Copies of this chain bind each other. A is one copy, B any other.
Amino acid sequence: MPASHAATNSVLPRRKGELTAERILDAAEDLFAERGYAGTTIRDVSAAVGIRNPSLYNHFPSKDALYAAVLERGISPVLAALSAVGAAGAAGTLQNPGELVETMMAQLAERPKLPRLIQHEMLAGGERLSPMLRAWITPIFEQADHVAESGPAALRWEPEQLRLLVLAMYNIMVGYFTIAPLYKELNGIDLLSPTMLEEQTRLFSEVVNALFGALASDGGD
């Protein structure tokens, strides 16, 4: 269902098998994001795809494997994008911390169901948490350490506080997407509309820059 994936279908009419697998992934992503792992049944997924229950096992060996595949497909590109920006930052070209925020917001905006998926998994707790999600959250903290040591934020915050500020920004962004449906229902405003997303991205970016004391305070630099 996600536009990005559906789009690939129309472009690359791959072998029928892969097509079905991808349709399964799409449906599963929706349902896992909406109801979590325990709340989603193989039958629900099959029904959403329009196949019978056992056919799903021709494409994924188990519910667990399907879940892992959904996480993998969903999180990988986000991680990649973040890594790219992070690498740039590590190489000294990260102009401002807000850029990380903008990248992440852009990535999540493309897959608005993803944050719910991640939140569900995060709630599932420490041990059960997929290694992929550990890989997702760890580099974010490392970014914080990097910035803490070298950036202008070091002037304002303790290193440890910085890690927690990063955590806070993570929570802000993921929570923003997670809460969007409810927010729309309560306030009538669609947080996922392009306008709002753009605006919020700018706001979060500003906040990050303000808190991390990025270029703004550096003035003419």
Distance between Cα atoms of A38 and B123 in the complex (Å):
13
**Cα separation A220 to B102 with both chains bound (whole Å):** 35
Contact A37 B34 (CB under 8 A): no
Number of copies: 4
Please tell me if the beta carbons of A182 and B141 are within 8 angstroms of each other in the complex.
Answer: no
Closest partner residue, chain B, to A38 (CB atom): B39
Chain B's nearest CB lies how many Å from the CB of A35? Answer: 7
A127: nearest chain-B partner, CB-CB: B185
Per-residue CB proximity of A166-180 to B under 8 Å, as 1/0? 011011101110110
B123 touches A119 (CB 8 A): yes
Query: Which of the four size classes fits the interface of chain A?
Result: 35 or more
A23 CB within 8 Å of chain B: no
CA distance A138 to B182 in the complex (A): 11
Q: Mark A2-28, 1 if CB is under 8 A from B, else 0.
A: 000000000000000000000000000
Q: How far is the CA of A45 from the CA of B36 in the complex (A)?
A: 20
Which among A119, A123, A129, A204 has the greatest number of chain B C-beta atoms within 10 A?
A123
* A193 close to B (CB within 8 Å): no
A200 at the interface (CB under 8 A from B): yes
Q: CA A165 – CA B204 in complex, angstroms? A: 9
Which residue of B39, B185, B187 is within 8 Å of A141 (Cβ)? B187
B178 A123 Cβ-Cβ under 8 A: yes
In the bound assembly, the distance between CA atoms of A38 and B167 in angstroms comes to 28
Knowing A123-B123, A171-B175 are in contact, say whether A36-B34 is a contact too (CB < 8 A). no
